[in-house]
Structure 1
Amino acid sequence: MPVMQAITLIRRAAALLLLVPGLAPAADVELAGVFGKRAVLMVDGGAPQTLGIGQRSKEGVVVLEVDGRSALIDVGGERRRVALGEAPLRIQPPTPQADLGLSVSLTPDPQGHYWAQGSINGAAMRFMVDTGATYVSIGADEARRAGIDYRKGREVIMNTANGPSTAWLLTLDRVSVGGIVLYGVQGTVHEQGLPVPLLGMSFLSRLGMRSEAGLLVLTRRY
């Protein structure tokens, strides 16, 4: 193959890779301003870009949510929140589909309950697996530890073992169990608190679940 033809093919392949979702390089993202539901972002020290919800910067940063002083963004599948007045946030997107097929095995306690060590937005949590819970559910104290301003969520009434309870429905940026990490997981925060954080179906439905030799095995499917 002629040298120039080979170089052309390599350049075309590189260009195609840049178009594949999730292959964006690491980025330094700064929130320079907020105008209503539009965020002004500076990526890698470049010129300010004003983006509405759902819009993508030329570097591939997508704006998912905007409030008064912060914005939720997506860079190659990594969702993070940037705030006004803070230093640029360094975001290293995960390797695409790196943990597909990854499994976590859970052992039941004497009462038959399964417990999982994990985190929400990086804050450590010990969840009780609850297939009867619609959402990942935590109390207000856990929400504060995870840096969640839950009152910006939607107020709802939830039925609990102690009767109806007020909670806030919102999207959790990142929920992990073992090495399995999911982004954009719906959750509820109960201001009156819960005995333990619950790992509900908003997380579990995105995994494979099977019983194996007395263990509950959770497997990342997509």
Structure 2
Amino acid sequence: MAFSAQATDVGVVGLFPGKAVLVINGAAPKTYSVGDKIDANVRLTSVTGSTATVDVKGKPQIIGIGEYVSRSAPGISASVTLKVNGAGHFVAQSQVNRGTIKMLVDTGATVIAIPAADAIRLGINYQQGQTITMSTANGPALAYRVRLDTVKVGDIELRQVDAVVMESGLSFALLGMSFLNRTEMRREGDMMVLTKRF
């Protein structure tokens, strides 16, 4: 596959203290240290136990291990490529209102769903939201309907995204259809490509 000079595809395949093993534009994995330039527009700025942060033209981008993020060229719709994990799920390292959270891609969820503990950590004042009752595997559960200022996955950033915060019955945040229906989803083997539609 040919890649334009304006776009860089970055995948994270390994993480070590101060270093990340990255796949750039489909090439063989290569180890980069924090501070290294990946190309003219991209630099590795930090590494944690589960993510690498790259700076793309001055904008920080957090990429989870096993994720592939396409650096969209100008004029091309923003997209992200997620790799299926060992449990057969797609997990997206996301940013909600500028805070980081992992979300399980769930096409069966009507909206983004966030456990209360994560909502508190992200500074979401969910108890001011409308209270609703949600059906869960363990029966009905109280939830709060909220609207998130920004949700970002890879290069895709959406504003004013509907979500619910649940105080019980949810152990992992779900990336539901209030985000996904604003993207085009394409499954390619063990990869899922999300491309921003509007």
Which TM-score applies when normalising by structure 2? Answer: 0.60
Equivalences for 1:29-178 in 2 at 5 Å? 101-178=77-154
Q: CA deviation at 1:100?
A: 5.5
**Inter-CA distance 165–152: structure 2 relative to 1 (3 Å threshold):** same
Alignment of 1:197 with 2:176, yes or no, is: no
Q: Whose strand proportion is higher, 1 or 2?
A: 2
Residue from 177, 184, 187 that aligns with 1:208: 184
AA in 2 matched with 1:137: A
Report how far residue 175 of structure 1 moved.
0.7
Aligned-residue offset at 1:179: 1.8
SS at match of 2:84: coil
Verify the 8 A CA contact 1:175 1:185 in the aligned structure 2: yes
Post-superposition offset of 1:212? 1.6
Q: Structure 1 residue runs of 4+, over 2 Å off?
A: none
What secondary structure does 1:202 align onto?
A: helix
TM-score, scaled relative to structure 1:
0.54
Secondary structure of the 1:141 match is helix
- Is the Cα–Cα contact under 8 Å of residues 138 and 169 in structure 2 kept in the other structure? no
Q: 2: distance between equivalents of 1:204 and 1:121?
A: 17
Tell me by how many angstroms 1:111 deviates: 2.6
Distance 1:145 1:174 in 2: 15
Consecutive unaligned residues in structure 2, runs of 5 or more: 1-73
CA contact (8 A) 1:166 1:191 kept: yes
Relative to 1, partners in 2 of residues 1:144 and 1:124: Cα closer, same or farther, differing over 3 Å?
same
Q: Which has the higher helix share?
A: 1
1:165, 1:100 → 2: CA distance? Answer: 41
User: Alignment identity in percent?
Assistant: 45
The structure number with the bigger radius of gyration is 1
How many residue pairs align between the two structures?
125
